[in-house]
Structure 1
Amino acid sequence: AGFLGSPLAYPGFAIINMLVGFVLYIYVVIPISYWSNFYDAKKFPLISSHTFDSTGAIYNVSRILNDATFNIDMDAYNNYSKLYLSITFAIDYGLCFATLTATISHVFLFHGKTINQMWRKTTAALKEQAGDVHTRIMKRNYEQVPEWWSISILFLMTIMALICCEGFDKQLQLPWWGVLLSLTTNQQAGLNVITELIIGYLYPGKPLANVAFKTYGYISM
């Protein structure tokens, strides 16, 4: 309930579905992965959000960062250790990516027909421009908020974000195009792994830029 909200707000089948998934994950997948020493899982704690080196110690990030630019020094990284996660945290990250494709597949297979019907009804209603009774009452009694208000706020916030990232180039590492890209990926389709993956491929070796991109692309939601 701490992460999913009140159980009273969801139908019974949804709660059972989440419970079954939780039991399979915690009591089946995790124990099997840990006791089979999957990816040296026994070197690290069973459940932890920390990062570790090959010896099982907490990963010393300062050993792989360039002191002047804060970029990742790949030579230092290769001489030190690969980065490891606890088995629970590693599988959790993998499931986050699996959730994205599963969500798209589920919606397409089970709700594709309904979405198509709703789309046709919406486009037909827009052509008529009549609106339902509530829309007509609102139009008669209230003035519409000028569109330039929203555009002005969007423009101002975008400029402030660009100035912030360009002005603190060394501290944030995120270039101007990263800010604009994060605006287009600010969709609540999943967790922070979406933004981490995008900027990780487009701007590798920049850990601070990754965090800044995630801030504008995900945390701002």
Structure 2
Amino acid sequence: MIWPGALVQCAFFRTLHESKEEDAVNNVTRWKMSRLRLLLYVALASFLYYWLPGYIFPLLAAFSFLCLLKPTNLLFSQITGISGLGVGSVHLDWSYITAYLASPIIVPGWAQLNILFGFVVLVWIVTPIMYYTNTWGSKAFPLGTTDLYRADGSLYDITVVLDQNSKLNETAYKQYGTIRLTVMFALAYGPTFAALTSCIVHTILFHGKEIIRQFNMSITEAMNEVHAKLMARYGEAPEWWYTIVFCVNVFVACL
């Protein structure tokens, strides 16, 4: 099992601590620049570039050429606009690109394809179908926003349904009305609950046998792994230690 994020951290710390001699020995390629120099160049370039979308020219952060063709057309703006479906929009701000998902440099290609497929299905297919068919009365609200609304399309004032202790006043809630979400927010919010269980199912299906094998394997039996060889000189911790730590963590998490 490989963790791409951990590989990036390992490469970063290796760059900081590896000497020039070790770098020359471990990286026998045509690339003459050291890891540390490359890191400094990239850090400097990213620092200088961020002044453009972050301060000097914020339009570079996110823009849509297609939306500028017919800015007064509501339907076209909803499809191509940054605040809509974003078809044809461009993001040149790295903080925008990595705002909701991990860095595309770290995430493997197959995972990015899965994300892209899910995005196209939910955002570019399911969302417009539900919105333009007025499912859940969605046309009363904007297409894509995280704000909360009432059934008539006005913003939901959460303070109306809370008492002095910031707890829900059920009577006021029934009188004021239920909270309504935009269709895009609902479709983005709902799958996050499914993602929690899907991670468990994915791990069981694709890595279940490996986890069981590693769980049953003692540290002295896993001598083919470098870390295990280093740890083999120490005695194994009793199983009840891990059980106590697990139970304490579960108890604290439930508080």
TM-score, normalized by length of structure 1? 0.56
Secondary structure at 2:154 match in 1: coil
- The superposition leaves residues 28-85 of structure 1 with CA deviations (integer Å, 9 ceiling, x where unpaired) of 111111112111111111111111111110001222122x322221111111111111
Residue 127 of structure 1: how far off its partner (Å): 9.6
Change (3 A) 1:97 1:41: same
Which has the larger Rg? 2
Change (3 A) 1:95 1:80: same
Residue in 2 that maps onto 1:61: 158
Distance (whole Å) between structure 1 residues aligned to residue 145 and residue 167 of structure 2 = 25
Query: Greater share of helix residues, 1 or 2?
Result: 1
Q: Give the one of 111, 114, 119 matched to 1:14.
A: 111
Distance (whole Å) between structure 2 residues aligned to residue 118 and residue 11 of structure 1 = 24
Q: Give the one of 46, 49, 58 matched to 2:143.
A: 46
Residue 95 of structure 1: how far off its partner (Å): 0.4
Distance (whole Å) between structure 1 residues aligned to residue 108 and residue 120 of structure 2 = 19
Q: How many aligned positions are there?
A: 142
Residue in 2 that maps onto 1:142: none
User: Which structure 2 segments of 5+ residues have no match?
Assistant: 1-96, 235-244
- The superposition leaves residues 175-213 of structure 1 with CA deviations (integer Å, 9 ceiling, x where unpaired) of xxxxx978325xxxxxxxxxxxxxxxxxxxxxxxxxxx8
Residue 26 of structure 1: how far off its partner (Å): 1.2
Residue in 2 that maps onto 1:184: 253
Secondary structure at 1:30 match in 2: helix
Residue in 2 that maps onto 1:84: 180
Residue 92 of structure 1: how far off its partner (Å): 1.4
* Shift >3 Å, 4+ stretches: 180-183
Q: Pairwise CA RMSD of aligned residues? A: 2.9
Secondary structure at 2:185 match in 1: helix
Residue 136 of structure 1: how far off its partner (Å): 6.3
Secondary structure at 2:136 match in 1: coil
Residue 12 of structure 1: how far off its partner (Å): 1.7
TM-score, normalized by length of structure 2? 0.49
